[in-house]
Structure 1
C-alpha cells in the first residue's frame, strides 16, 4: 500500500505562563492510500492537537517544535502558507468538530462551496453549481439545501455539508476532528457509514479523531491510542480490540458496554489524565495503572512489538539475554 501521509517524531508545544507545555510528544503516523486510521483517547490526550499539527492549522500559542509531516513527499511543516493554501481542499481537506462554528452563518451553503472552489480552480458558474450539486448528493442531501443557511440545517446535515465541502476536489486525504461528537447515536452511525461508503467509492484516506472507541471498531482499519501526548498503542483495529496490549487501551475498552455476550460491570480507569505541565516520571500512565511494575515510575518505555501491534508498556519489554 503506497503512503499518502508519513509523520515522524512530531512534537507540539503550547507556550504558557509556566513555560512550554508539550501536548504532542514524538508521534509517528503512517497513512496509506484509501486507509482509515482512527486516533482515540481521553479528552486532553493530544489527539486534536495532533490532527491540527498534521493539517498545519495550529495557531499561537501552539507550535510544532520537532518532527516532519510528509504529505505525498512534501514536508508540510516547512512549507510556506502560500504553498499550503494551494494544497488545502484540493489535495487534503479538514472536517472540523463543530460544523456550526466552521461554516459561515451569514452565507448560504452554495456560496461557501463557491468560495472554496474559486480559491483553488478557475471554474464557470455552471461548473461550480454542477459540482456543488454532485457532492451534496454524494453525502445524501437534497441539492435544494444549497440555498440554505447553516442554521436552517440539522446538526447531522451540517456535518454532511462540511464533508461535502471537503470532497469538492476529491482529495487524497481527509482529516476529521470528532465530526460526530454533537450528534445522537443514530445520526453518528448513519454519518460514519456514509463516510466509509464515500471512502471506498472515491479512494481517499481518512485520519479520524474521536474519543468513542465503539465507533472506530466498525469503521477504522488501524488505530492509534494516545495518552498524555504520546502514542501508547498502535496497530490494526481488530488486533487492538481483540487483544489490547496496553493497560490504558484495555481500560478504554472496558469503559464501553458490549451489546454481545454476558452483562459485565463497566470498570473505567481510576484517577484522571496528568497535567501535561507536570508529567509523572517514567511511564506516564503508571499512577493510574493496575499492572504497574516496580520499574514503571523510573523507566520510560519505548514502543514494543506485540504481535501485529506496538505498545508503550514495560510489560512487553524484551527480556535481556543473560550471558554465561
Structure 2
C-alpha cells in the first residue's frame, strides 16, 4: 500500500478525506474507470491545485467528491468524508442541505451555470431560500455584501448574466458560492474562458478571499502556471490516477514524476534563461483499455522494461509522493549500492 497522503501543515484540522475514490462511466463496451483509486486529505483553509491534461480525470474526480455526477457516470467505490460524514452514502436530500451552506461548487462555464432568464439577485435569493429562512432585507444585504467581496457593484444584482462580462460572471458565481461562507469551495477550471489578465486578477481575488474568510479550496485546472503562486499543495493527475502530490513549490522546483516534468517543460517561464518548450509526445491513453503496468510508460522518456509490467504505488520522495518505479524503495537502494 502507498503511504497515506498528508496535509501541508500537520497542525491543521482535516476537513476532507477521500479514500480510494473510483468513478466509472457506463459505455456500450463496458464500464470505463475515469478515476482509479484517488486518495487525498484536505485541511481547513488549505488551497489544493489539481492539474493534468484534458481527459485525465480531474473534473470527474471533482464532481465525484461533490456528488454531482450524472449518468452514465457513477461512484463505483471509495469514500468521501467531509467533516467526518461520508458524502457517497448520503441521500440526495441530505446532500442538498450541505451544498452551498457547507461546501460550494464553482463550475467551469458561468454562462451555462447561471440561469439566463433570472437576474443575479434573483438567483442569489433562490440559493439562500433553499437553505435558510431569512427576511427579505437580510437576503438583499447579504447578496450585496458578497458581490462587493468579489469586486462587483451591488447594482448588478439587477443585471442578467448576458449583461455581464465573462470575468464578472465568474466573480458572480464565486459570490454565490460565498453566500453562507462555506468551509470548502471546489472550482472546476473557473478561469478557462478568460484572458490572461482576467485569469490573474481572478486568481488573486480568490486567494485574498480565502485568506480573509478561511475556506479551503480544491482548484482544478490544466494550466500549471495558474496555481504556481496560489496553491499550498499540488496534485498531478494522469489517466485517472494521482501521479504526484506535494507542496507546490517542491513539485515545481524538483518534480519527482516524469509526467510532472513534462508538464513543466511544456509551458514557458517569464524568468531565467530562454528554453525550448519540449512538451510530452503521444496522447493520453484510452481509459477503456489502459496500458499495463505504469499508465504513463508508453509516453515516458525514462521508462524501463518493467514499467510495462509492474504497477507503481505512490512512493515518498523527500516531501512529495510520486507514482514512479524509479522511486520504489528497492530500486533506490540498489541504485545507491551500485
TM range (shorter): over 0.9
2:275 match = 264
Q: Secondary structure at the match of 1:39?
A: strand
Quick one: distance in 1 between partners of 2:305 and 2:27? 33
Q: SS state of the match for residue 138, structure 2?
A: helix
- Quote the offset at 1:29 in angstroms: 1.1
Counterpart residue number, 2:230: 219
Q: How does 1:59-78 map to 2 (within 5 A)?
A: 59-78=70-89
Shift in Å, 1:293: 1.0
Q: Mapping of 1:223-234 within 5 angstroms?
A: 223-234=234-245
CA-CA distance at 1:168 after TM superposition: 0.1
2:212 to 192, 198, 201: 201
Segments ≥4 residues shifted beyond 6 Å: none
The answer to whether structure 1 residue 172 and structure 2 residue 183 are counterparts is yes
Question: 2:123 aligned with 1:117, yes or no?
Answer: no
Deviations 1:271-316 (A, max 9, x none): 0000000111100000000000111000010000001000000010
Partner of 2:59: 48
Cα distance in 1 for residues equivalent to 2:16 and 2:329: 30
2:19 aligned to 8, 33, 38, which one? Answer: 8
Q: CA deviation at 1:180?
A: 0.2
Which residue pairs with 2:109 in the alignment? 98
Q: Give the alignment partner of residue 31 of structure 1, picking from 38, 42, 45.
A: 42
Please, which of 141, 160, 175 is the counterpart of residue 149 of structure 1? 160
Aligned residue number for residue 237 of structure 1: 248
Q: Distance in 2 between matches of 1:278 and 1:81?
A: 33
- Give 1:279's aligned residue: 290
Establish whether residue 131 from structure 1 lines up as the match of residue 120 from structure 2. no
Counterpart of 2:8? Answer: none
In the TM superposition, residue 24 of structure 1 has moved relative to its aligned partner by 0.1
Matched residue SS, 2:217 = strand
Shift of residue 125, structure 1, vs aligned partner:
0.5
Q: Does 1:302 align with 2:324?
A: no
Q: Which runs of 5+ in 2 are unaligned?
A: 1-11
TM-superposed CA distance for 1:64, in Å, is 0.4
Q: Could you tell me how far 1:248 is from its partner in structure 2?
A: 0.1
**Residue of structure 2 in register with 1:81 after alignment:** 92
Residues 161-207 of structure 1 show CA distances to partners (whole Å, capped at 9, x for unaligned) of: 00000000000000000000000000000000000000000000000
Partner of residue 169 from structure 2, selected from 158, 176, 190:
158
Q: Distance in 1 between matches of 2:277 and 2:157?
A: 44
Q: CA deviation at 1:86?
A: 0.5
Match of 1:316 in 2: 327
Measure, in 2, the Cα distance between the counterparts of 1:318 and 1:308: 15
Cα separation, 2, equivalents of 1:127 and 1:98: 29
Mapped to 2, the partners of 1:55 and 1:201 lie a distance apart of: 24
* 1:1-42 Cα distance to aligned partner (Å, 9 max, x none): 101110000000000001000000000011101000011000
| TM-score calculated relative to the size of structure 1 | 0.99
Q: CA RMSD in A?
A: 0.8
Which one of 177, 187, 191 corresponds to residue 198 of structure 2? Answer: 187
Cα distance in 1 for partners of 2:231, 2:282 equals 28
Q: TM-score scaled by structure 2?
A: 0.94
Name the SS of the counterpart of 1:51 in structure 2: helix
Deviation at 1:151, TM superposition (A): 0.2
